[in-house]
Structure 1
Amino acid sequence: MMSGNQGGQVGNKEGSGGGGCGRNCLSKCCLLHGGAKLPLYSFSKSAKGSGLSSERKKPHSLFLDRLLKVWEDRRLRGLFHHDITACETKILPGEHGFIVVLVEGRDLKKRPTEFGLDEVLQHFDGRKFNFTKIGQEEVLFRFEESGNDEAQYLEHAPVMASACPNVIAINVSPIAYGHVLLIPRILDCMPQRIDRESFLLAMRMAREAHNPYFRVGYNSLGAFATINHLHFQAYCLTESFPVEKAPTQMITTLGSGVKISQLLHYPVRGLVFEGGSSLEDLSDVISSACIFLQDTNCPYNVLISDSGKQIFLFPQCYAEKRAQGKVSQEILEKQVNPAIWELGGHFALKRRQDYVEASEGSLCSFLEMVSLSEERFTEMKGYILEALASVAVKDIMERAERD
């Protein structure tokens, strides 16, 4: 996700307002003090008009229509490192139907990871690359709650001096059409860690798209997030992800109505969350599980699917095995890092040979290496359920005290 405006390069000054540092960046100097005007999409906090249908259909929401239109404009302007529309893609034969895309040399253009992979929680370091250093031309629009409970889009909206905007920007190294980044409260410079408010924002983004083919993903540090600045990824892929087709086994239903299941007959062990009386209920449960994992230094990935109605949580251990020398040189040479898209079954391969030779068996073996063992997963699952029960009791007590 290397930005074209990194390293002090001068960005496109179009619409910069003439102030700031001259790079037209997303730091306070240009965003707040440079007279910046960025497009604004305001979403309704309620589910009204969001159309939470799971029917497979083409995008038609105001949000997704606008996102794809502006993303296409950035593609035509040449802001991406490669043209994803020209990349070869295929579905592999087999039980899972893994999806592979050939993006030759993608890792050569991505910014190298600038932090250790052995700690899930690390402090934000402003000296290293972060999203305040990208150019405003890479921004599609701000994503904020509507003041009148109606979704709307404004092409030119001044950024107020007191603002700390949520930003949707292009991923300059896309692996699918419409590949974007959601950066919550960008000027707060939060490290890559889940909190309840930010995860709910990602859930609302998924709901606002009103399309099951638009997924939102999250990678923790140690699970192949490449930048330690809080962000989610999202894109459109008009195929079902293999993990979305995998069978599940019910574990429990929480008091909030959220159902927790586990994946069956899938090479990566994971939990599936659905239901609840509201989007907020479901979001609170998953964010609590994520917070537990990151507080216990367990790397993980999250996939928000089906307009925010089905969420997959994957604890993983690939970085740990790699550090222990348990990953073969053959696998390392393929340069496939198991982030959320790979765990879901969508693989970006960088070498034509690997693309030609890809098979369901080889990808299953790779994902099995990423997964926690059955014993370790069962133990972790128990800890997560205990943590969720503890959080539920605490929330009940706090509500009782307020009442």
Structure 2
Amino acid sequence: MQATKPPLSSARHQGIKTHLYLIGNSTEGNCVSADESLLDALLLSAVHLTWEDCSWKGLLKYDVTMCETKIIGGEKDLLNQFNDKWNLSFPAEFEKNTLQPLGPEKPTHMKILRENLLFCIASGEKESCQSQLIPSHAIPMHGFLILVNVNPVEYGHIFLVPYGTKQRQEFWHKEMFYLISRFAKENCNCSLKVFFLKSSSTTPDYAYFQAAYFANHLPVELLTVINVYDCKDNKGVSISELADYPLKTMLFTS
């Protein structure tokens, strides 16, 4: 993959530079397996190095890989993790200390970004189908910041935060879904799960995502589905409902 300088819009926080992964416009993806995924290799190496650095600096209050786990017997074999150091109020603190200051530059925010930022992803040029990795690039507008989660529930737990004018939203844009779905597809590793949790703070909702590596399938992935509507004439999207699940859950398959 050739690294070229893209015509990105003006970037803020010029003092912070990081690896920039530009996702191409090819609908076929840029890898065949996880072993051939540049994005997966970049994420794993960044997570490993940054987590080691955060642990050395004392930013990680615990080693999630050493937490005791237990399978709860039953129909679904749920996994329980015993971690008395996990901070229940951390999501609200993260939104207050990291997300809210993303507009005006503040010393505290700059410090958090430098310590927790892994790299950034953004859409590449419209005429380019190939993804590109650009080392040491200023943070662009309209991308996703990949931040390490210092309060993890599993190895590789990260935040994916929209940056720029799309950072603070009370609703989701199709561009956000496109970029986050391309990130998941291009990663090519079935162990990486991308998910969304509703804002826990009293401030306006922040539309950001999370991701982590899970060695096994999550129970929700193995449940029986009930077909609700087969939209074969609507770009191949089918809608299903999860059976025997405590939450009302819809499944959209493309």
TM-score, structure 2 length as denominator? 0.77
**1:177 corresponds to 2:150:** no
In structure 2, how many angstroms separate the alpha carbons of the residues matched to 1:33 and 1:245? 43
Give secondary structure in 2 for the equivalent of 1:65: helix
Corresponding residue for residue 76 of structure 1: 52
- Equivalent AA in structure 1 for residue 77 of structure 2: G
Which one scores higher on RCO, CA 8 angstroms, separation ≥ 6?
Answer: 2
The Cα of 1:83 is off from its aligned counterpart by: 1.6
Deviations 1:250-304 (A, max 9, x none): 11122222110111122322111112xxxxxxxxxxxxxxxxxxxxxxxxxxxxx
In structure 2, how many angstroms separate the alpha carbons of the residues matched to 1:199 and 1:231? 11
- Percent identity, aligned pairs only, is 27
Match of 1:241 among 194, 218, 224: 218
The Cα of 1:203 is off from its aligned counterpart by: 1.1
Deviations 1:167-190 (A, max 9, x none): 111111111111111111245441
Contact 1:166/1:182, CA 8 A, preserved across alignment: yes
TM-score, structure 1 length as denominator? 0.51
Deviations 1:301-349 (A, max 9, x none): xxxxxxxxxxxxxxxxxxxxxxxxxxxxxxxxxxxxxxxxxxxxxxxxx
In structure 2, how many angstroms separate the alpha carbons of the residues matched to 1:101 and 1:192? 32
Give secondary structure in 1 for the equivalent of 2:87: helix
Q: Could you list the runs of 4 or more consecutive aligned residues of structure 1 that deviate by over 3 angstroms after TM superposition?
A: 49-53, 111-114, 186-189, 224-228
**1:211 corresponds to 2:179:** no
**Larger helix percent:** 1
- From the CA coordinates, give the structure whose radius of gyration is larger: 1
**Larger strand percent:** 2
The Cα of 1:110 is off from its aligned counterpart by: 1.8
In structure 2, how many angstroms separate the alpha carbons of the residues matched to 1:164 and 1:258? 27
Corresponding residue for residue 242 of structure 2: 263
Give secondary structure in 2 for the equivalent of 1:129: helix
- Equivalent AA in structure 1 for residue 224 of structure 2: P
Cα RMSD of the aligned pairs, angstroms, is 2.8
After TM superposition, list the pairs within 5 Å mapping 1:75-114 onto structure 2: 75-77=51-53, 78=55, 79-107=59-87, 110=90, 112=92
- Equivalent AA in structure 1 for residue 119 of structure 2: F
Unaligned runs of 5+ in 1: 1-27, 115-125, 276-403
Contact 2:120/2:139, CA 8 A, preserved across alignment: no
The Cα of 1:112 is off from its aligned counterpart by: 4.1
- Equivalent AA in structure 2 for residue 74 of structure 1: T
Corresponding residue for residue 252 of structure 1: 229
Corresponding residue for residue 373 of structure 1: none
Match of 1:157 among 137, 152, 162: 137
Name the CA shift for 1:258/1:188 in 2 (closer, same or farther; >3 Å): closer
Contact 1:41/1:153, CA 8 A, preserved across alignment: yes
In structure 2, how many angstroms separate the alpha carbons of the residues matched to 1:236 and 1:271? 23
- Equivalent AA in structure 1 for residue 48 of structure 2: E
Match of 1:197 among 142, 163, 175: 175
